[in-house]
């Protein structure tokens, strides 16, 4: 017996999780469905490793030789810094740059896998989670972005989310830049105040237009009395920013007309509105524009990172927040145009646009609405061990069942207590067990105990004929050489299928 | 234009690799086939994360607070050491110990995924590679080990390796320990010399019995004149070790009889032979013993690590070594009984046995014998852009094709040079392209260009009637509203299928 005080503790680091059979099966069904849609769109798979040079990921701290603390990093034996990938976009940019000449261009590709963030974990926030990305590199046309949005919509429906229960919202970084330029916040000088404006807009959902107005102006005092300094814009500028955020009209054309007014005078802004107009025309001609892909200037997530169109997939399904109030489930994926990422390696402009699904988060949403309800597979047939000395005979039965494609197991625990063998079969969700004691052996028979019917009749009143009839049906003898056939018949009778 | 001197270099760290579509598809087919067999055996999936506490993996250097250099390690913000998993067995032991009471026992499970080794990379040696493991925890009976061996055999056949082209070899750690005990190398005192003996045996394939005899005795001078000090055994002991290694007889019974002689007098050795005898009985009754699962005392790989039976799957297929000499492909997986691994956490004995397939290595073997021959999927239908202003119309055609389940793409590059669009379609392996210029539009038609037939007739002599007839067949006009139907007919005609 090991010394208990020296015993190792079996535990996982915070922010990491194990996954059991139902969760693995659900992820598999999801990724199969997503892959199916992406391949229909002509995207092909490509995978990169989990480890990259830190500089290739763009994850050194500004002006320092030390990696960003948000990524897991370690030094190689030649002192170079390596990091675990924190998303699938930066590695793709490295891959495309490294294999540029060999790839078809434009290059459509997809990939899914684990990414790692060295961040503070919390409820529902993990340090390892799965993403599913699609990217088109080498095309600057808006058809590439429109395609991403339509593909996102098709993916939601392939996953069983009904039309109307999700929406793909599209905005454009250039439109916002145009607004900021128009109110005098363009160029390097306006950078800090631009960030304050972006952060204020991002609070629209929570604070409403009046709160955002305060944050764009002098500042805002919250309920606790804390004061947040504002961006210090004048009233005209504030009105213009709020007009931008609130420019969603009754339909795409109305929204585009509103936006055109807001950016009037900014070449950059007009270019952005024109890009949205093109996306709108493309999604309209393919009939995605009415209810699935919507121009929505309130989307600001990712506006700092992207260079043109940005898109976000939102589930309109309701869930409860920590105070049991109904809230929308919200974003399960997003993306946009990132024309700078491959260019870092190439020294020439390489346009690119991409879309990323948070698989772990979407899986939580689908589980919530019952689209991934615990379809756990039935357990295997268990061949029990009545006489330990005859294990080889029981093994032979198991092999015969497996040879016929039937999931089957030999009981491998201590066979002494036969009740434990039946309990094990129950815990495994077995449809039936196979028993052969000395009497059966002498008669060349085996007993089959039907656990599904057994569970059913356990609830019936014992004085009814039906019970007795069913009890006879629930355990019966058959000639040994009919084992495979009889088990197969039982599986059909009880509707058990593993595929 | 970015400054070229500051440009980042796009490259992967040594020992890591990207994977393209054919390789990903091949891995998928392999893991699907393996999973299928494992589930038929009643094993259920479970997954653990890529990162664990270093101590849970047992990967601290002896008597030091520093992780083994062979694993990628980094400190968490609370100073605790974390490591990337270097196999799938140590994390499973942690998982089982952590969830012991909730799991059915015996607990059969499987998992596959990437593991990481911080070792010197070389040709065919990677620092990230894939393993596929199955383990039975909580059963000490030999039926659990016999099952692993039969499952390994079934897996090889499910992957298309014919019977006779692979073998599952079984040995037992206790038999070797018995031999060592019998020649006076038991206990702590003999540890160093035991290791020398193990290393000598491991060279049997390369040096033959005479070379091993020298290494077991005084030592051996190799061709270059370098001298390796031997284990210093006396002649009787050397004979006994060589008798052990060479004890494989004409059949299992002969081998077992030979082994019984070799270990005579050692209780440990006799227990090992008895375990092999049980495995032999079980594999014989299920008809795996003649040609698939063989008792073979020459297997020493892993003998240091395991506590009872060890097994190894070898491909008997020939390949060439670096000097173009034919060699057997060798081991693609192995495993054994490791009764100590879960016990480290539990402070009580927890028997376990497991089997691991090196997916990356096996994939190389299967590719070599053509079982994974480049079945790259056909490319998508490409809808070309003849008139940029009409992109929305072309997008609509693409959406219609996709809506009918046909893989289709809009050409997203610069449409100016129409020849580039056809080159792109060729590079993508497209079965056909769709074209609609102004003339076709006026007539309400589209042109379909059959690239498969086109490639075929490109080689035909141009003065034959057949050529002209086929040329007409290779590009033809259809009414616009028959697009989906006509493309589908073409795909059927050319035998194109994506599933």
A227 CB near a chain B CB, below 8 Å?
Answer: no
Considering only the beta carbons, identify the residue of A12, A95, A391 that sits closest to B49: A12
A462 CB near a chain B CB, below 8 Å?
Answer: no
Inter-chain contact B392–A345, Cβ cutoff 8 Å?
no
Chain B residues in contact with A44 by the CB 8 A cut-off are: 21
CB of B461 within 8 A of CB of B471? no
C-alpha B231/C-alpha A335 separation (Å) is: 65
Identify which of A460, A405, A407, A467 has the alpha carbon closest to the alpha carbon of residue A434.
A407
Pairing of the two strands A81-84 and A73-75: antiparallel
DSSP sequence for A174-192 = HHHHHHHHHTT--TGGGHH
Task: For residue B77, count CB atoms less than 10 angstroms from its CB and return exposed for 0-12, middle for 13-18, buried for 19 or more.
Answer: exposed
Domain CATH for B437: 3.40.50.800
B484 CB near a chain A CB, below 8 Å?
Answer: no
pLDDT higher at A205 or B488: B488
Reported as a pLDDT band with limits 50, 70 and 90, residue B324 is confident
| Residue carrying the six token digits 């692993």 | B148
Chain A residues in contact with B480 by the CB 8 A cut-off are: none
Per-residue pLDDT, averaged over B222-242, amounts to: 90
Inter-chain contact A408–B42, Cβ cutoff 8 Å?
yes
Pairing of the two strands B309-320 and B326-337: antiparallel
**Buried b / exposed e along B359-391 (16+ C-beta atoms within 10 A):** bbbbbebbeebebbeeeebbbbbbbbbbeeebb
pLDDT at B6: 63
Torsion of CA B79, B83, B84, B90, to 10 degrees: -130
Identify which of A176, A175, A174 has the alpha carbon closest to the alpha carbon of residue A195.
A176
C-alpha A277/C-alpha A272 separation (Å) is: 9
Same domain, yes or no: B283 and B402: no
State the DSSP H helix or E strand holding residue A488, giving kind and residue range, or none if neither: helix A483-493
Same domain, yes or no: A62 and A145: yes
Inter-chain contact A46–B344, Cβ cutoff 8 Å?
no
Inter-chain contact A7–B347, Cβ cutoff 8 Å?
yes
Inter-chain contact B380–A139, Cβ cutoff 8 Å?
no
What is the total residue count of chain A?
Answer: 499
The greatest distance separating any two alpha carbons of chain B, rounded to the nearest whole angstrom, comes to 98
Domain CATH for A116: 3.30.930.10
Considering only the beta carbons, identify the residue of A24, A53, A104 that sits closest to B13: A53
Considering only the beta carbons, identify the residue of B7, B287, B347 that sits closest to A345: B7
Q: Which domain holds residue A460?
A: 381-493
Same domain, yes or no: B32 and B109: yes
User: Do the domain assignments include residue A335?
Assistant: yes
Same domain, yes or no: B97 and B136: yes
Peptide bond into B23 cis (omega under 30): no
Q: Decide which of A368, A392, A425 is a domain's last residue.
A: A368
User: Do the domain assignments include residue B211?
Assistant: no
B353 CB near a chain A CB, below 8 Å?
Answer: no
B462 CB near a chain A CB, below 8 Å?
Answer: no
User: Do the domain assignments include residue B157?
Assistant: yes
Considering only the beta carbons, identify the residue of B116, B281, B427 that sits closest to A392: B281
CB of B152 within 8 A of CB of B353? no
B39 CB near a chain A CB, below 8 Å?
Answer: yes
State the DSSP H helix or E strand holding residue A93, giving kind and residue range, or none if neither: helix A89-98
Same domain, yes or no: A45 and A91: yes
User: Do the domain assignments include residue A342?
Assistant: yes
Same domain, yes or no: A321 and A278: yes
Q: Decide which of B325, B343, B368 is a domain's last residue.
A: B368
Q: CA torsion sign, A155 to A159 to A162 to A164?
A: negative
3-state secondary structure chain B: CCCHHHCCCCCCCCCCCCECHHHHHHHHHHHHHHHHHHHHCCCEECECCCEEECCCCCCECCCCCCECCCCCEEECCCCCEEEECCCCHHHHHHHHHHCHHHCCCCEEEEEEEEEECCCCCECCECCEEEEEEEEEECCCCHHHHHHHHHHHHHHHHHCCCCCCCEEEEEEEHHHHHHHHHHCCCCCHHHHHHHHHHHHHHHCHHHHHHHHHHHHHCCEEECCCCCEEECCCCCHHHHHHHHHHHCCCCCCHHHHHHHHHHHHCCCHHHHHHHHHHHHHHHHHHHCCCCCCCEEECCCCCCCCCCCCCEEEEEEEEEEEECCCCCEEEEEEEEEEEECCCCCHHHHCCCCCEEEEEEEHHHHHHHHHHCCCCCCCCCCCCEEECCCCHHHHHHHHHHHHHHHHCCCCEEECCCCCCCHHHHHHHHHHCCCCEEEECCHHHHHHCEEEEEEHHHHHHHCCCCCCCHHHHHHHHHHEEEEEHHHHHHHHHHHHHHCCCCCC
Chain B residues in contact with A407 by the CB 8 A cut-off are: 39-42
- Chain B, residues 385-444, CB within 8 A of chain A, namely 391-393, 395-396, 398-399, 402, 405-410, 412-413, 424, 427-428
Reported as a pLDDT band with limits 50, 70 and 90, residue B381 is very high
Task: For residue A61, count CB atoms less than 10 angstroms from its CB and return exposed for 0-12, middle for 13-18, buried for 19 or more.
Answer: exposed
C-alpha B412/C-alpha A106 separation (Å) is: 6
The three-point CA angle B384-B390-B391 to 5° equals 55
C-alpha A165/C-alpha A329 separation (Å) is: 10
pLDDT at A3: 45
C-alpha B105/C-alpha B138 separation (Å) is: 6
pLDDT at A1: 40
Identify which of A490, A486, A390, A484 has the alpha carbon closest to the alpha carbon of residue A437.
A390
Direct distance between the N- and C-terminal alpha carbons of chain B, in angstroms, rounded to an integer: 44
Chain A residues in contact with B116 by the CB 8 A cut-off are: 50-51
Considering only the beta carbons, identify the residue of A24, A49, A285 that sits closest to B16: A49
pLDDT at B1: 40
Average pLDDT, chain B: 90
Identify which of B92, B62, B138 has the alpha carbon closest to the alpha carbon of residue B348.
B138
Inter-chain contact A7–B346, Cβ cutoff 8 Å?
yes
C-alpha A370/C-alpha B439 separation (Å) is: 52
Distance from CA of A79 to the nearest CA of B (A): 12
B36 CB near a chain A CB, below 8 Å?
Answer: no
- Chain A, residues 291-350, CB within 8 A of chain B, namely 343-348
The greatest distance separating any two alpha carbons of chain A, rounded to the nearest whole angstrom, comes to 98
Tokens of A315: 């589930």
Considering only the beta carbons, identify the residue of A21, A141, A377 that sits closest to B46: A21
- Chain B, residues 102-121, CB within 8 A of chain A, namely 104-106, 108, 114, 116
Give the single-character DSSP code of A160: T
| Residue carrying the six token digits 């039965």 | A397
- Please state the pTM of the whole predicted model: 0.90
A11 CB near a chain B CB, below 8 Å?
Answer: yes
Phi, psi dihedral angles at A38 (to 5 degrees):
-60, -40
Reported as a pLDDT band with limits 50, 70 and 90, residue B153 is very high
Distance from CA of B428 to the nearest CA of A (A): 7
C-alpha B94/C-alpha B70 separation (Å) is: 20
User: Do the domain assignments include residue B9?
Assistant: no
Chain B residues in contact with A128 by the CB 8 A cut-off are: 49-51
Chain B residues in contact with A347 by the CB 8 A cut-off are: 1-4, 7
The nearest alpha carbon in chain B to A112 belongs to B24
C-alpha B26/C-alpha B372 separation (Å) is: 6
CB of B469 within 8 A of CB of B457? no
Distance from CA of B207 to the nearest CA of A (A): 34
pLDDT at A374: 55
Same domain, yes or no: B43 and B162: yes
Identify which of A434, A435, A439, A443 has the alpha carbon closest to the alpha carbon of residue A479.
A443
Same domain, yes or no: B328 and B469: no
C-alpha B310/C-alpha A392 separation (Å) is: 20
Question: Which residues does residue B118 pair with via DSSP β-bridges, in sequence order?
Answer: none
| Residue carrying the six token digits 């653990």 | B48
Q: How far is CA B248 from the centre of its chain?
A: 29
Distances (CA, A) of B402 to B409, B411, B484: 9, 14, 9
Per-residue pLDDT, averaged over B74-81, amounts to: 92
The tens-digit pLDDT sequence of chain A (499 residues) is 444 456 789 999 999 999 999 899 999 999 999 999 999 999 999 999 999 999 999 888 777 788 888 999 999 989 999 999 999 999 999 999 999 999 999 999 999 999 999 999 887 789 999 999 999 999 999 999 999 999 999 999 999 999 999 999 999 999 988 998 888 888 777 888 888 898 888 888 788 889 999 999 999 998 888 999 999 999 999 999 999 988 989 899 999 999 999 998 899 999 999 999 999 999 999 999 989 999 998 887 766 778 999 999 999 988 776 778 787 788 899 999 998 888 889 888 899 999 999 998 899 888 877 777 655 678 999 999 999 999 999 999 999 999 999 999 999 999 998 999 999 999 999 999 999 999 999 999 999 999 999 888 887 766 677 777 888 889 999 999 999 999 999 999 999 987 6
Chain A residues in contact with B98 by the CB 8 A cut-off are: 10-12, 18
Peptide bond into B106 cis (omega under 30): yes
The three-point CA angle A99-A104-A109 to 5° equals 80
The nearest alpha carbon in chain A to B138 belongs to A413
Inter-chain contact B12–A98, Cβ cutoff 8 Å?
yes
Inter-chain contact A13–B53, Cβ cutoff 8 Å?
yes
- Chain B, residues 127-186, CB within 8 A of chain A, namely 127-128, 136, 138-139, 141, 143-144, 146-147, 150, 154
User: Do the domain assignments include residue A60?
Assistant: yes
User: Do the domain assignments include residue A258?
Assistant: yes
Tokens of B496: 């194109």
Inter-chain contact A428–B104, Cβ cutoff 8 Å?
yes
Inter-chain contact B409–A41, Cβ cutoff 8 Å?
yes
Q: CA torsion sign, B27 to B29 to B32 to B38?
A: negative
Q: Decide which of B368, B391, B421 is a domain's last residue.
A: B368
Same domain, yes or no: B297 and B388: no
Chain A residues in contact with B136 by the CB 8 A cut-off are: 412
- The contacts of residue A163 (CB under 8 Å, 6+ apart) are A157, A291, A292
Same domain, yes or no: A120 and A69: yes
Q: Which of B374, B412, B487 to mutate to test the interface with A (most CBs of A within 10 A)?
A: B412
Distance from CA of A311 to the nearest CA of B (A): 19
Same domain, yes or no: B443 and B467: yes
Inter-chain contact B141–A346, Cβ cutoff 8 Å?
no
Helices then strands, counting H and E runs in chain A, come out as 17, 18
- Chain A, residues 82-101, CB within 8 A of chain B, namely 82, 94-95, 97-99
C-alpha A145/C-alpha A136 separation (Å) is: 9
Same domain, yes or no: A315 and A440: no
C-alpha A436/C-alpha A400 separation (Å) is: 15
Inter-chain contact A21–B1, Cβ cutoff 8 Å?
no
User: Do the domain assignments include residue A374?
Assistant: no
B31 CB near a chain A CB, below 8 Å?
Answer: no
Considering only the beta carbons, identify the residue of B1, B40, B287 that sits closest to A407: B40
Domain count, chain B: 2
Q: Which of A42, A82, A121, A138 to mutate to test the interface with B (most CBs of B within 10 A)?
A: A42
Reported as a pLDDT band with limits 50, 70 and 90, residue B2 is very low
What is the total residue count of chain B?
Answer: 499
CB of B208 within 8 A of CB of B265? no
Tokens of A468: 């007795």
- Chain B, residues 371-390, CB within 8 A of chain A, namely 377, 379-380
Tokens of A488: 């197969």
């Amino acid at each position: 017996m090991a010394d208990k005080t020296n015993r190792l503790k079996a535990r996982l680091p915070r922010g990491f999780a194990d996954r059991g059979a139902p969760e693995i099966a659900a992820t598999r069904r999801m990724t199969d469905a997503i892959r199916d849609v992406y391949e229909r769109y002509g995207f092909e798979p490509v995978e990169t490793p989990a480890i990259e040079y830190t500089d290739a990921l763009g994850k050194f701290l500004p002006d320092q030789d030390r990696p960003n603390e948000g990524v897991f990093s370690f030094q190689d034996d030649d002192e170079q810094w390596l990091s675990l990938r924190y998303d699938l976009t930066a590695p793709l940019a490295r891959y495309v740059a490294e294999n540029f000449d060999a790839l078809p261009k434009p290059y459509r590709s997809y990939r899914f896998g684990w990414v790692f963030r060295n961040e503070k974990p919390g409820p529902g926030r993990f340090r390892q989670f799965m993403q599913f990305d699609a990217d088109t590199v080498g095309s600057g046309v808006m058809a590439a972005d429109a395609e991403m949005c339509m593909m996102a919509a098709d993916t939601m429906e392939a996953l069983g989310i009904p039309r109307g229960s999700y929406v793909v919202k599209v905005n454009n970084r250039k439109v916002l830049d145009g607004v900021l330029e128009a109110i005098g916040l363009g160029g390097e000088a306006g950078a800090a105040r631009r960030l304050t404006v972006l952060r204020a807009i991002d609070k629209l959902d929570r604070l409403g237009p009046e709160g955002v107005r305060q944050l764009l102006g002098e500042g805002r005092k919250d309920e606790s009395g804390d004061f947040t300094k504002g961006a210090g814009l004048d009233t005209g500028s504030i009105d213009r920013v709020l007009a931008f955020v609130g420019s969603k009209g009754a339909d795409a054309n109305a929204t585009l007309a509103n936006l055109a007014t807001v950016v009037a005078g900014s070449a950059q802004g007009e270019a952005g509105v024109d890009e949205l107009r093109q996306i709108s025309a493309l999604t309209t001609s393919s009939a995605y524009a009415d209810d699935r892909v919507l121009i929505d200037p309130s989307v600001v997530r990712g506006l700092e990172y992207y260079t043109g169109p940005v898109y976000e997939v939102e589930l309109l399904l309701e869930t409860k927040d920590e105070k049991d109030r109904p809230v929308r489930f919200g974003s399960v994926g997003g993306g946009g145009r990132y024309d700078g990422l491959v260019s870092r390696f190439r020294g020439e402009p390489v346009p690119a646009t991409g879309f990323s699904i948070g698989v772990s988060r979407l899986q939580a949403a689908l589980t919530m609405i019952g689209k991934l309800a615990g379809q756990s597979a039935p357990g295997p047939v268990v061949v029990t061990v009545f006489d330990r000395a005859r294990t080889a005979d029981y093994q032979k039965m198991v092999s015969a069942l497996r040879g016929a494609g039937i999931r089957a197991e030999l009981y491998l625990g201590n066979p002494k207590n036969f009740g434990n063998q039946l309990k094990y079969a129950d815990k495994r969700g077995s449809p039936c067990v196979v028993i052969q004691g000395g009497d059966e052996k002498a008669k060349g028979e085996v007993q089959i105990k039907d656990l599904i019917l057994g569970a059913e009749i356990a609830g019936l009143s014992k004085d009814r004929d039906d019970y007795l009839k069913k009890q006879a049906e629930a355990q019966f003898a058959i000639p040994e050489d009919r084992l495979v056939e009889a088990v197969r018949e039982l599986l059909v009778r009880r509707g058990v299928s593993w595929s």
